[in-house]
Amino acid sequence: MIFKCGYPGAWSQELLFIVIFSNFTRKSKTDTMYFFLKRTFPLFFLIAFSSFASDDFKPISVADITDKGTFRSESVYGLRSMNDGEHYTTSKQGRLILMYAYKTGEVTDTLFNIEKPEKAPFEHFSDYMFSPSEDLILFETDHEKIYRRSYRAEFYIYNRRQKTFHRLSEGGKQRLATFLPDGRKITFVRKNNLFHVDMDSGQEVQVTHDGKYNHIINGTTDGYMKKSLRSPKALPGPLTAKNWPIPL
């Protein structure tokens, strides 16, 4: 007996099933048919599914990626990876810093609580940064918007071991505060000039003196470059303990 199955449209393939029946009894023929269907049905289903899949396939164009957004990357924002490579931290409502395990996604520790062990000199923080050794945390708070992505803010340094807070600078709000690679100095911009603060001595040093509004900018970008680079930072680099302060 021959079974021939044709598929309409995209189902251009044909299946030929040949079953040879001997002079079996009526019961033997029924058993043979059951055995045949049991063995061939999975193959039939696989071929049918493949036909559908090939019919629905559409080539990917450059426009799908660059213009239409059909394919795009997804990212996780707001996390900081820890030095051990096994944990990361996130901020919770600008009052807590929680540490999670990459492996489980579960909270493993609370690294900072704005109420403990000593109340912080701010009610909440908008951003934070660990020093390279992770013994210090630089908190950003009290934003004052300037233009688009630009803003100035107050920064505080928290010593995790001593559990103490220190204001980064008393000379007015700062911009773009960040740790230098050695972790013992923090650089920032104020009034178009570069400064750095030594973490050991607390001494603040003004590195440039020629900054002038709408004329000379040190350490940051103007509106045009800020838009092009998508970043207000323009610190000279790479910054290391050896080439900082910058020779003038």
Tell me the mean pLDDT per 10 residues along the chain, length 248: 42 40 46 61 60 62 80 76 96 94 95 84 94 96 84 94 93 93 91 92 91 81 51 50 46
Whole-angstrom distance, CA of residue 159 vs CA of residue 118 = 12
Domain membership of residue 225 as a residue range: 135-234
What predicted TM-score, i.e. pTM, was given to this entire model? 0.64
Of the residues 30, 46, 66, the one at which a domain ends: 66
Instruction: Examine residue 30 and state whether it is found in any structural domain, yes or no.
Output: yes
Of the residues 31, 49, 66, the one at which a domain ends: 66
Residues 62 and 143 in one domain: no
Q: Kindly state the tokens that stand for 179.
A: 């740790």
Residue with tokens 């050896």: 242
Instruction: Examine residue 247 and state whether it is found in any structural domain, yes or no.
Output: no
Instruction: Examine residue 205 and state whether it is found in any structural domain, yes or no.
Output: yes
| 3 state SS of 63 | helix
Residues 230 and 141 in one domain: yes
Tell me the per-residue pLDDT of 45-61, one tens digit each, with 9 for 90 and over: 566 555 555 555 678 88
Residues 60 and 143 in one domain: no
Buried-state track 70-102, b at ≥16 Cβ within 10 A, e below 16: eeeeeeeeeeeebeeeebbbbbeebebbbbbee
Instruction: Examine residue 177 and state whether it is found in any structural domain, yes or no.
Output: yes
| 3 state SS of 158 | strand
Residues 218 and 139 in one domain: yes
Instruction: Examine residue 8 and state whether it is found in any structural domain, yes or no.
Output: yes
Of the residues 21, 51, 66, the one at which a domain ends: 66
Buried-state track 12-36, b at ≥16 Cβ within 10 A, e below 16: eeeeeeeeeeeeeeeeeeeeeeeee
Residues 6+ away with beta carbon under 8 Å from 226 = 148, 149, 150, 220, 232
> DSSP letter at 199?
T
Domain count for the chain: 2
Whole-angstrom distance, CA of residue 196 vs CA of residue 190 = 11
Residue 147 has a pLDDT of: 77
